[in-house]
């Protein structure tokens, strides 16, 4: 799923290439499956107060995704019970094609309480890496990708020799791809800095999990460079945390909503599939994460696999680009709900 040496989609001639069209480049993200409350635009009330029920439902989303052919699953200790759930699910499988990516650096602190004052705490120290690895290593041998969760310049993690050396040790010992995830206005600056990190004379990071959608297109500035260097790209927040869905609180997106609705009707899919497809088609060979919180959403998300946007559609969607400052200011105002 994550190998970078094949290009599954070539922007201008993909519509004629049936062999590449059906390759599943969608992965399942587990953030909304492990935490009953999540940062997004949630327009419908959703009662996740029964944890046993929530866990059961989340488990079915993972199993449905697997049965639909998904083989890449993204998780993190910061996603509440997600890592535990993935681990429990893996125990029901014996399939070498499954690939798990996890992260370290955030601790979930909300204890499944919607009113929690603090939902997660970030710490990029060697002590946190060691502590979280103790649990995450149970995901081996399915664990293939280990990421610094939300690497920033401020935490100094890309210059922390103790941390980098320990990651290098884990990379070698367990044959892992080491990645970073990025969030915020300076994603590209952080990626550029990460590309300069070398260990034993070799570029260290293999994979970049980046926020990308037609509102924040900043990844396009560096995606070709990443792919030409054989790096893997994973796209997160392809639905802009729910901002792609019509919502009266965002009147400035009226034209975008109308366009998305037209495209959804043209291809007989939902708006979610259009947004996911935009990521799949515009960043060649990237894995795009579905963030579905239930099985219905997942099966709708998967429809992204069943059609191709035209060049004109893509151009139209690309016209909805906003500045990273605008995007992330709006993102910061979203609530845990």
Minimum CB distance to ligand NAP smaller for 29 or for 324:
29
CB of 272 to ligand NAP, least distance (A): 4
Minimum CB distance to ligand NAP smaller for 150 or for 217:
150
CB of 330 to ligand NAP, least distance (A): 13
In 81-186, where does DSSP find H-type helix?
82-90, 126-136, 161-174
Minimum CB distance to ligand NAP smaller for 100 or for 292:
292
CB of 95 to ligand NAP, least distance (A): 20
CB of 23 to ligand NAP, least distance (A): 20
Q: How many Å apart are CA 251 and CA 225, to the nearest integer?
A: 36
Q: How many Å apart are CA 208 and CA 219, to the nearest integer?
A: 10
Minimum CB distance to ligand NAP smaller for 58 or for 223:
58
Helix (H) / strand (E) element for 244: namely: none
CB of 19 to ligand NAP, least distance (A): 28
Preceding amide of 141 cis, omega within 30 = yes
CB of 292 to ligand NAP, least distance (A): 5
Minimum CB distance to ligand NAP smaller for 33 or for 164:
33
Q: How many Å apart are CA 23 and CA 7, to the nearest integer?
A: 11
Residues lying near ligand NAP in the complex (CB under 6 A): 29-32, 38, 40, 42, 74, 149-150, 181, 183, 209, 236-242, 270, 272, 289, 291-293, 297, 300-301
Minimum CB distance to ligand NAP smaller for 187 or for 223:
187
Q: How many Å apart are CA 314 and CA 319, to the nearest integer?
A: 9
The pair of three-digit structure tokens given for residue 38, joined into one six-digit string: 């999540």
- In sequence order, the 6+-apart residues with CB closer than 8 A to the CB of 178 are 145, 146, 147, 167, 168, 170, 171, 204, 205, 206, 207
């Amino acid at each position: 799923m994550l190998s970078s040496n094949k290009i599954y989609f070539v922007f201008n001639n993909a519509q004629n290439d049936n062999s590449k069209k059906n390759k599943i480049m969608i992965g399942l993200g587990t953030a909304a499956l492990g935490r009953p409350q999540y940062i997004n635009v949630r327009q419908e009330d959703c009662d996740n107060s029964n944890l046993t029920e929530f866990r059961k439902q989340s488990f079915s989303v993972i199993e449905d995704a697997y049965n639909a052919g998904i083989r890449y699953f993204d998780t993190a200790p910061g996603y509440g019970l997600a890592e535990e759930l993935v681990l429990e699910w893996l125990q029901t499988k014996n399939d070498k094609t499954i690939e798990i990516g996890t992260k370290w650096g955030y601790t979930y602190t909300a204890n499944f309480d919607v009113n929690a004052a603090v939902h997660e705490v970030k710490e990029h120290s060697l002590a946190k890496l060691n502590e979280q690895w103790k649990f995450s290593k149970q995901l081996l041998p399915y664990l293939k990708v280990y990421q610094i969760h939300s690497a920033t310049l401020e935490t100094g993690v890309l210059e922390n020799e103790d941390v980098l050396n320990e990651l290098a040790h884990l990379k070698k010992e367990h044959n892992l791809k080491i990645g970073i995830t990025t969030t915020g206005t300076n994603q590209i600056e952080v990626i550029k800095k990460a590309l300069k990190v070398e260990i034993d004379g070799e570029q260290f990071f293999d994979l970049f999990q980046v926020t990308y959608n037609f509102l924040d297109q900043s990844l396009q500035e560096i995606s070709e460079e990443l792919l030409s260097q054989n790096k893997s790209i994973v796209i997160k927040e392809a639905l802009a945390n729910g901002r792609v869905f019509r919502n009266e609180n965002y009147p400035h997106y009226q034209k975008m909503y109308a366009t998305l609705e037209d495209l959804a009707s043209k291809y007989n899919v939902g708006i979610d599939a259009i947004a996911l497809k935009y990521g799949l088609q515009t960043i060649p060979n990237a894995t795009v994460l579905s963030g579905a919180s239930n099985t219905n959403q997942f099966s709708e998300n998967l429809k992204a696999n069943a059609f191709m946007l035209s060049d004109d559609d893509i151009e139209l969607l690309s016209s909805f680009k906003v500045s990273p400052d605008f995007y992330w200011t709006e993102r910061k105002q979203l609530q845990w709900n």
